[in-house]
């Protein structure tokens, strides 16, 4: 690959890893406040909610988006043997970086403590919204370029199966493009004019509905790069083969259908949206677990095959034979720890999806328990592991502290299990999320003190300390690698798994048109009634309320 290509990828990988110092630091701080060890509204001039916003935005939005673009560039280039247009690569990078700097300024200046979901009526500085929008638009640019590269490739290779990683990347960015349209509308039409003072009110429920149209698909935009690695790289680094190539294709295409029309499961407790809509989207949420179940079984079979190739005997002997601590093969440890965490992340997700159980866990600490075992589990570990792998391979610099690098994911996983257990247990005892517990419930001097939340928040803090340590060790290893001397020319090498069942090309799973049509139909069915609901029940025609009496005013009740 060219020097320019390498340079852009290095920047796209290393800037978010550097920002992680701020991101992970605030994760640790939150656990310390929440355990009541810190009983203040701020520390080192950074407030709790300011830190929580920085934490959510840097870790879950900036890191994931930059990585998805960098990894997409690497995958498309590697498999299609063609580099993307350099000018477009720079343009996209500049938009993403510019947007990140704007939003970071707003957050660090304390002018955007609105959390990563920026629900109105919390209001941020316009640069926060504009910055986020630029980050998103910057990530669209390469997608259009890859789509052209793919179409050209397909013209020449009409009968060849499109590589699984290419299919995955294009599916992921199709989901991303569709879902970000809603948040772009929310930001540009509702929030920016309001934040600039051009409009005086915002339809809060509409804004939340548009956000979640985007927000749940967002989690699959985080997940799919990890899934691409699990299907196309993991079996190889485990020493085996992918059990079924077709299963991988099926799973990835199913995400196209089910990733977006499920956002209302974040709004089970929101007024204005009717039960029918909630029920329908709840059912679709069960649908979106199917590709992950397919993945779980396919990967388990692939790992079993790998173990047996390494000479394993008996029913579970294959587990022992996997390369758990092979420092020349550190990617494996990042992937396997992520997958183990995802078993718990998945189960807790299914619990959230159930309408009745959701009423128990909604807005409690259970939720961060769930999603750290997804986004900060398989997603985070795959991202950081692959970032280091790509950097080291492309730069020709050997990995710094290889042994530690191999142990980091186990440390992270153990910390995460302790943290998430504390959070989930606390959540079931009613401990709220997004709350600085140190100034109230966990402060023995407060009338609100809850001694039963001491063990749970302490566990979360202990887990947080372990995760923080693992995270910092990784960051040292990453920048240590950058500072090392080049030992080889450096090239773009990605391990490629062969398939155990390499099924013949099935046209349905090698084209996008029909899937996109089906995606649009399901979306329209799921979201038309939801949008009608929120416009009718919370827009200008909605009944007014007396602030002291939550029933509609009689004059409106015709």
Q: Which residues are catalytic?
A: 216, 220, 370-372, 433-434
Site string for ligand HAS, 409-438 (x = CB under 6 A): ------------------------------
SS3 501: strand
The residues, ordered by sequence, that sit 6+ positions from 90 with a Cβ below 8 Å of its Cβ are 4, 8
In 3D, which of 71, 2, 6, 55 has the Cα closest to residue 387?
71
Residues paired with 47 in a beta bridge: 42
Binders of ligand HAS among residues 166 to 225 (CB under 6 A) are: 219, 222-223
Q: Which of 342, 380, 391, 400 binds ligand HAS (CB under 6 A)?
A: 342
Q: Which stretch binds ligand HAS (CB under 6 A): 26-34, 133-141, 362-370, 547-555?
A: 362-370
Residue 26 touches ligand HAS, criterion: CB under 6 A: no
Q: Is the dihedral of CA 88, 93, 95, 96 positive or negative?
A: positive
Q: Minimum distance between the CB of residue 462 and ligand HEM, rounded to whole angstroms?
A: 10
Q: Minimum distance between the CB of residue 467 and ligand HEM, rounded to whole angstroms?
A: 4
Q: Which of 60, 102, 260, 477 binds ligand HEM (CB under 6 A)?
A: 60
Integer Cα distance of 483 and 153 in angstroms: 38
Whether the bond into 121 is cis, omega within 30 of 0: yes
- Closest chain position to ligand HAS (CB): 346
136 binds, among ligand HEM, ligand HAS, none (CB under 5 to 8 A by kind): none
Site string for ligand HEM, 451-470 (x = CB under 6 A): -------------x--xx--
Q: Minimum distance between the CB of residue 124 and ligand HEM, rounded to whole angstroms?
A: 13
- The phi and psi torsions of 374 (rounded to 5 degrees) equal -115, -70
Residues in binding contact with ligand HEM, number by CB under 6 A: 25
Residue 262 near residue 521 (C-beta atoms within 8 A): no
Integer Cα distance of 8 and 15 in angstroms: 11
Retrieve residue 239's tokens: 């020493």
In 3D, which of 369, 391, 374, 386 has the Cα closest to residue 335?
386
Residue 194 near residue 123 (C-beta atoms within 8 A): yes
Integer Cα distance of 397 and 102 in angstroms: 33
The torsion defined by the Cα of 253, 289, 272 and 364, in degrees rounded to 10, comes to -140
Residue with tokens 């299919």: 167
Residue 288 touches ligand HAS, criterion: CB under 6 A: yes
Specify the DSSP element, H or E, that contains 70: helix 63-80
- 72 or 215: CB nearest ligand HEM: 215
Q: Minimum distance between the CB of residue 377 and ligand HEM, rounded to whole angstroms?
A: 9
Q: Minimum distance between the CB of residue 468 and ligand HEM, rounded to whole angstroms?
A: 4
Q: Minimum distance between the CB of residue 164 and ligand HAS, rounded to whole angstroms?
A: 16
Strand-strand pairing, 499-501 and 242-244: parallel
Residue 373 touches ligand HAS, criterion: CB under 6 A: no
Q: Minimum distance between the CB of residue 405 and ligand HEM, rounded to whole angstroms?
A: 17
In 3D, which of 294, 243, 79, 259 has the Cα closest to residue 169?
79
Site string for ligand HEM, 406-445 (x = CB under 6 A): ---------------------------xxx----------
Integer Cα distance of 348 and 367 in angstroms: 9
The residues binding ligand HEM (CB under 6 A) are 24, 27-28, 30-31, 34, 52, 55-56, 59-60, 115-116, 368, 372, 375-376, 380, 433-435, 464, 467-468, 471
The residues binding ligand HAS (CB under 6 A) are 117, 219, 222-223, 265-266, 285, 288-289, 292-293, 295-296, 299-300, 303, 319, 339-340, 342-343, 346, 349-350, 352-353, 358, 362, 367, 370-371, 374-375, 379
């Amino acid at each position: 690959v060219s020097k320019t290509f390498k340079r852009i990828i290095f920047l796209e990988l290393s800037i978010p890893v550097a920002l992680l110092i701020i991101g992970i630091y605030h994760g640790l701080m939150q656990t310390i406040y929440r355990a009541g060890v810190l009983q203040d509204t701020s520390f080192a001039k950074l407030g709790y909610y300011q830190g929580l916003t920085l934490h959510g935005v840097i870790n879950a939005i900036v890191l994931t988006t930059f990585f998805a673009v960098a990894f997409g560039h690497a995958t498309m280039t590697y498999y299609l043997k063609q580099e993307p247009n350099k000018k477009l690569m720079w343009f996209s990078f500049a938009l993403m970086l510019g947007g990140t700097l704007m939003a970071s300024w707003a957050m660090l200046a304390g002018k955007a403590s609105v959390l990563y979901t920026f629900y109105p009526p919390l209001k941020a500085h316009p640069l926060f919204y504009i910055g986020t929008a630029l980050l998103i638009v910057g990530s669209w640019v390469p997608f259009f370029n890859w789509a052209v590269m793919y179409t050209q490739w397909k013209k020449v290779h009409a009968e060849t199966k499109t590589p699984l990683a290419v299919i995955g990347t294009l599916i992921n960015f199709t989901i991303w493009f569709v879902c970000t349209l809603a948040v772009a509308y929310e930001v540009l039409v509702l929030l920016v004019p309001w934040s600039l003072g051009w409009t005086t009110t915002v339809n809060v429920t509409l804004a939340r509905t548009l956000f979640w149209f985007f927000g749940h698909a967002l989690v699959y935009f985080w997940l799919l790069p990890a899934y691409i690695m699990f299907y196309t790289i993991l079996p190889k680094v485990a020493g085996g083969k992918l059990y079924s190539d077709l299963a991988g294709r099926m799973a990835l295409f199913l995400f196209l259908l089910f990733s977006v029309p499920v956002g209302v499961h974040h709004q089970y407790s929101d007024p204005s949206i009717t039960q029918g809509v909630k029920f329908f989207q709840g059912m679709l949420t069960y649908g979106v677990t199917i590709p992950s179940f397919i993945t779980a079984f396919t990967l388990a079979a692939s790992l079993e095959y790998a173990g047996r190739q390494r000479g394993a005997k008996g029913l579970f002997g294959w587990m022992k034979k996997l390369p758990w601590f092979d420092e020349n093969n550190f990617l494996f440890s990042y992937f396997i720890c992520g997958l183990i965490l995802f078993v718990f992340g998945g189960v807790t997700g299914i619990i959230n999806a159930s309408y009745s159980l959701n009423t128990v866990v909604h807005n409690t600490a259970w939720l961060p328990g769930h999603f750290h075992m997804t986004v900060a589990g398989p997603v985070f570990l795959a991202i950081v592991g692959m970032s280091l792998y790509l950097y080291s391979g492309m730069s020709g610099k050997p990995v710094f502290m290889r042994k530690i690098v191999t142990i980091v994911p186990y440390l992270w996983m153990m910390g995460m299990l302790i943290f998430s257990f504390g959070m989930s247990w606390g959540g079931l005892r009613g401990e709220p999320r997004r709350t600085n517990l140190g100034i109230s419930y966990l402060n023995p001097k407060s009338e609100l003190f809850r001694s039963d939340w001491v063990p749970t928040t302490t566990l979360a803090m202990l887990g947080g300390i372990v995760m923080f340590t693992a995270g910092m060790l990784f960051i040292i290893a990453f920048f240590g690698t950058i500072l090392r001397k080049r030992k080889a020319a450096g090239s773009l090498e990605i391990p490629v798994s062969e398939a155990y069942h390499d099924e013949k090309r099935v046209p349905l799973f090698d084209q996008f048109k029909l899937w996109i049509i089906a995606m649009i139909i399901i979306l329209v069915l799921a979201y038309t009634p939801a949008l009608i609901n929120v416009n009718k029940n919370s827009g200008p025609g909605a009944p007014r309320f007396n602030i002291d009496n939550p029933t509609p005013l009689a004059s409106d009740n015709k």
